[in-house]
A and B are shown apart, each in its own frame.
Chain A
Amino acid sequence: MKAYMYIVKSEGCWQARMTIEPEVDKRFWLSGNFGEGGVLNESLAAVGWIWREAMPLGDACRAVEFWNGEKRKSNNDQQAILGMFACVESAIREAEGKEARTGLLSLWQMQKSKHVHQAAQVDARMLEKIERWEHGDAGRAISEAELGKIAVGAKLAAEVMQGRALLRGEAHALLVGAGGSDAAERWSEVLQLAVLLGQVRLSGSIAADYGGRADALGRRRRERSCLRCGSGEAFMRRTACAACGRECAYCAACIGMGRSRECELLVIGQRAGLAGRAAFQSSSDDFRRLSLERRLVKWNLSPAQTAAAAKALRFVEHEEAEAEAESIRTFLLWAVTGAGKTEMIFPLVESVLLRGGKALIATPRRDVVIELDPRIRKAFPEAEVVTLYGGSEQRWESGDITLSTTHQLLRFHQGFDLVIVDEIDAFPYHGDPILHYAADKSCAPGSARVLLSATPPRELQRAARRGNLAHARVPVRYHRHPLPVPSLLQTLTVKGMLQRRRISSKLLAALKKSLAREAQLFVFVQQIAQTEPMAALLREELRISEVAATSSQDPGRSDKVKRFRAREIRVLVTTTILERGVTIPKSDVFILDADGRLFDEASLVQMAGRAGRSADDPFGSVCFCSKERNHSQVAAVRHIRTMNRMARKHGYLLPPGKGGGVQ
């Protein structure tokens, strides 16, 4: 879209601004009176100049940036107009791919610094391009009644936009969703007024990227980056754009979430973090005087959970007083599979809610979000819980607790005072810079971020071990029994078994043994294509019919998992899609082709973690079946043994008499 650039002199000082609705700005600066909305501006402008012609949004923003890049501010009209020309010219030159820092801009700078008065003068030709705004001339373009509506809409917009970063279309949908049909109809005026009131920021959704160097201003002209997903030049695609009339870039990296484009509006709602909200502090002070242990009692945690939760809580509450450092503080909660991570985050969420903050729980997988939803609602019946994922109905609602897939975080900007990211090592979050950028961006300045994982990525493990990363480890499951240690079986490859139409005898015996003890069987294979044939083969060899196969491409997946849980299916052949987030009581795990490329240490530990999760049957069995023993398998076994050893050392396991410590 297109926008305008103008300058106004308010309180003796010139400033430049970008607007998408100049009439609103004119009213704001020259009269400040918005009908029923009352007087919204106390420091009116004496005079202003607007560039008559609309520019591509990016260019208008750039022109303002050029203006703001100058430290000295002009004070006479002549200089201000020259400055405006210099900035607009530079922005346009830059867009055309020419050197921006020439001509008028340098002349303007010289004039300001050394009082050089020759050459540049404002002439008639220049005045044709700009229009003067003068005090008292408030414009009649918008009626009083409409001004009132706009003012009401702006308040609504500022409220609902808080902590969000939305593209134009999304912002419009949000306003519609918030029930402001008036506001939605006049969305651009409403947003523009909210900008003037300092509650919303508007810009192009892709902007110049200087690589963090101020002096590079205008030098690396073609470098752009996406403000929404953080992707750099490599993902920019330039096409002729009918909306702004020049070639402009769009971001190919986050196009699945709506197109972010150079001339597309990005609306960012400002939100004050916890530090700026003292109001709730007093009520929670009494609560905080209680000792941590006493506060944790109500959550009914195991000793290991309590220890870790207390450490995390201390970290989270470790006072924003010291958090004037605007950086985000990170805490790693490293808890084995089935440790009860969700229960451990409850006290953290409660703490931030009591202080009047907003909590976010994000995870890469949609299935996990949907599964978490009822548990969170049960734990916090009073709080407003919003669940976000692609296609969620609560898309435009906002609540105290937000449950979300990591993808949805692209639509937030410093919106949360506590951010909990679950399953940080899972696809697609792990190794996706966009999602990391989104997770960083959604944290309010100085807020705490808690990362949860059973198998943290190696960098984090190393940082934790070296003491560079605050962390707590939970080496035991909530039922205080040790993790089942996998046994290694040498078998044929899945391909081989399918070709010979025969299951290796050792594996078959193990499967039968598990069935005999009435367990539910997970059978993991590497490829989606192998799931169905393997299920057919197992049906034949085990002589039972309750064998099913599922994968990411199976539309009936959630149904099959449900039937598996209900024991209507006894054997479920699947891929890594079910490696986490699924809890089936009394289950045994068989991992075929465990030496395969797709099963790394983390993935093996996760799959092994499907066994023995319930207190009724803590001793599930886990089998790594493969032709060869490889590093991943050995490392996974070592990982599990280390956790068990640590649990025993800390005395977290049940005493042997009650079944603990048995290997």
Chain B
Amino acid sequence: MSFRPTKWLQRLQSAFTSTAQLLSPQAAACLLCGKLHNEARSAEGLNRTKLTLRLQQSVCGVCLSTIPWLTRIVCHRCGRGIHCDDCLRNPQRSFILNRSAVHYNPAMRSLLAQYKYRGNEELATLLADMLVPAFERMTAELALRITPPGPAQHKQSHKNIALYWDAITFVPISPERALDRGFNQAEQLANDLAQRYRIPLMQLLVRERHTEKQSFKTRSERMRDTRHLFNINEVEFDKLRNIKLTHRNKEESTDRVLRVLIIDDIYTTGSTGEACSQALSLYSGQPLEIYILTWARS
């Protein structure tokens, strides 16, 4: 190899630029649009105190501002942002309520597709972080239900939030799907949330049959197909009971009902959530309150 001074100069230059970059404020590629962004700038201006730091760091300001947060809830049962016929038609539900983080608009649809079907698992933490504000609001709502507001209401901390929940579980996928996709999106979201708040993560449900993808089916097909789709993972459920018992003995928790949160990626007709809740209530044999938290509400 011959000695080339230009090559050296080039190297010197690249070494300089990379060193200089170490000094510049943290810039990272936005997970949604791929453009480089400056974290400090992306978070400024808007009120984003509710968002996790990780979310603010990984998504640029432009993308953050286009997320269609579902904050104004009209149907208090299923958490829809608009008037909801489904809940009028079937007032009997086995779960208390559903809350979702975002509206399922085309942008969110493609984001979910990126994660779920394309398998870009880097997005898992992002989606989980998006659940956080909805989860905290949901817990606050729950707190109001149990104890009416009084002067003693104090600010929620992570520990307080954990006290309201006995377990987080998730909608399972069939073994065939697991082989094909390699991961369960609901499990990943649930796992992230459970770790953040230190709430036990339990796989209370198993999927009995392998069904076609829900997204290819009509409303009535979905309703019919999801009946008796889930069974109870008895070992895990017994574990949950035991945990509750020990907690009750220690008088850590104030109320006697078993309260479980089911996580799923998307709530459309609610039939999946209903089927899971039904299976859980049928098996439980003791007061059980089921809440559902989904990433998107269509």
**Which A residues have a C-beta under 8 Å from some C-beta of B?**
1, 237, 239-243, 250, 252, 255-256, 258-259, 261, 263
Q: Is B119 an interface residue (CB 8 A)?
A: yes
Q: Is B86 an interface residue (CB 8 A)?
A: no
| Residue from the list B119, B178, B179, B184 in contact with A250, Cβ < 8 A | B119
**Which B residues have a C-beta under 8 Å from some C-beta of A?**
118-122, 178-184
The answer to whether B121 touches A242, judged by C-beta atoms less than 8 angstroms apart, is no
The answer to whether B183 touches A242, judged by C-beta atoms less than 8 angstroms apart, is yes
Bound: A558/B284 CA distance, A: 61
7 nearest interchain CB pairs? A242-B178, A259-B119, A243-B182, A241-B182, A239-B121, A243-B179, A242-B182
**26 pairs from A and B in contact (CB 8 Å cutoff):** A1-B179, A237-B121, A237-B122, A239-B121, A239-B182, A239-B183, A240-B183, A241-B182, A241-B183, A242-B178, A242-B179, A242-B181, A242-B182, A243-B178, A243-B179, A243-B180, A243-B181, A243-B182, A250-B119, A252-B122, A255-B118, A255-B119, A256-B118, A259-B119, A261-B119, A263-B182
* Residues on the A chain within 8 Å of B119, using CB: 250, 255, 259, 261
* Residues on the B chain within 8 Å of A255, using CB: 118-120
Bound: A240/B182 CA distance, A: 8
With CB as the reference atom, state the residue of chain B lying closest to A250. Answer: B119
A465 vs chain B, min Cβ distance (A): 14
* Residues on the A chain within 8 Å of B120, using CB: 252, 255, 259
| Residue from the list A250, A258, A263 in contact with B121, Cβ < 8 A | A250
Bound: A255/B182 CA distance, A: 14
* Residues on the A chain within 8 Å of B121, using CB: 237, 239, 250
Best-buried of B120, B180, B182 by chain A (most CB within 10 Å): B182
* Residues on the A chain within 8 Å of B180, using CB: 243
* Residues on the B chain within 8 Å of A243, using CB: 178-182
B172 vs chain A, min Cβ distance (A): 11
With CB as the reference atom, state the residue of chain B lying closest to A258. Answer: B118
* Residues on the A chain within 8 Å of B184, using CB: 242
With CB as the reference atom, state the residue of chain B lying closest to A256. Answer: B118
Main SS at interface, chain B:
loop
A172 vs chain B, min Cβ distance (A): 11
* Residues on the B chain within 8 Å of A263, using CB: 182
A204 vs chain B, min Cβ distance (A): 13
Bound: A256/B179 CA distance, A: 20
Bound: A470/B122 CA distance, A: 44
With CB as the reference atom, state the residue of chain A lying closest to B117. Answer: A259
The answer to whether B182 touches A261, judged by C-beta atoms less than 8 angstroms apart, is yes
With CB as the reference atom, state the residue of chain B lying closest to A255. Answer: B120
B20 vs chain A, min Cβ distance (A): 17
Bound: A554/B184 CA distance, A: 36
Bound: A237/B125 CA distance, A: 14
* A-B contacts besides A243-B180, A243-B182, A259-B120, 8 pairs, CB < 8 Å: A1-B179, A239-B182, A241-B182, A242-B179, A243-B181, A250-B121, A252-B122, A255-B120
B77 vs chain A, min Cβ distance (A): 33
A266 vs chain B, min Cβ distance (A): 15
Bound: A267/B30 CA distance, A: 33
Bound: A242/B122 CA distance, A: 16
A120 vs chain B, min Cβ distance (A): 36
Bound: A240/B119 CA distance, A: 12
* Residues on the A chain within 8 Å of B181, using CB: 242-243
Bound: A237/B122 CA distance, A: 8
Bound: A242/B173 CA distance, A: 11
Bound: A660/B115 CA distance, A: 59
B173 vs chain A, min Cβ distance (A): 8
With CB as the reference atom, state the residue of chain B lying closest to A257. Answer: B118
Bound: A242/B120 CA distance, A: 15
* Residues on the B chain within 8 Å of A239, using CB: 121, 182-183
* Residues on the B chain within 8 Å of A252, using CB: 120, 122
* Residues on the B chain within 8 Å of A237, using CB: 121-122
* Residues on the A chain within 8 Å of B118, using CB: 255-256, 258-259
With CB as the reference atom, state the residue of chain B lying closest to A263. Answer: B182
Bound: A252/B183 CA distance, A: 16
Bound: A239/B187 CA distance, A: 13
Bound: A261/B183 CA distance, A: 12
Bound: A1/B184 CA distance, A: 15
With CB as the reference atom, state the residue of chain A lying closest to B178. Answer: A242
Best-buried of B122, B179, B184 by chain A (most CB within 10 Å): B179
Bound: A237/B115 CA distance, A: 14
A188 vs chain B, min Cβ distance (A): 12
B192 vs chain A, min Cβ distance (A): 13
* Residues on the B chain within 8 Å of A241, using CB: 182-183
With CB as the reference atom, state the residue of chain B lying closest to A238. Answer: B121
* Residues on the A chain within 8 Å of B122, using CB: 237, 252
With CB as the reference atom, state the residue of chain A lying closest to B121. Answer: A239
Bound: A508/B138 CA distance, A: 61
B228 vs chain A, min Cβ distance (A): 24
Bound: A255/B181 CA distance, A: 14
With CB as the reference atom, state the residue of chain B lying closest to A252. Answer: B122
A258 vs chain B, min Cβ distance (A): 8
* Residues on the B chain within 8 Å of A259, using CB: 118-120
A140 vs chain B, min Cβ distance (A): 26
Bound: A239/B184 CA distance, A: 12
A54 vs chain B, min Cβ distance (A): 11
Bound: A259/B122 CA distance, A: 13
With CB as the reference atom, state the residue of chain A lying closest to B120. Answer: A255
With CB as the reference atom, state the residue of chain B lying closest to A242. Answer: B178
With CB as the reference atom, state the residue of chain A lying closest to B187. Answer: A242
Bound: A242/B203 CA distance, A: 15
Bound: A250/B119 CA distance, A: 9
B32 vs chain A, min Cβ distance (A): 14
B107 vs chain A, min Cβ distance (A): 14
Bound: A380/B119 CA distance, A: 41
* Residues on the A chain within 8 Å of B179, using CB: 1, 242-243
A499 vs chain B, min Cβ distance (A): 23
A16 vs chain B, min Cβ distance (A): 25
B157 vs chain A, min Cβ distance (A): 30
* Residues on the B chain within 8 Å of A1, using CB: 179
B118 vs chain A, min Cβ distance (A): 6
A267 vs chain B, min Cβ distance (A): 16
Best-buried of A1, A239, A252, A261 by chain B (most CB within 10 Å): A239
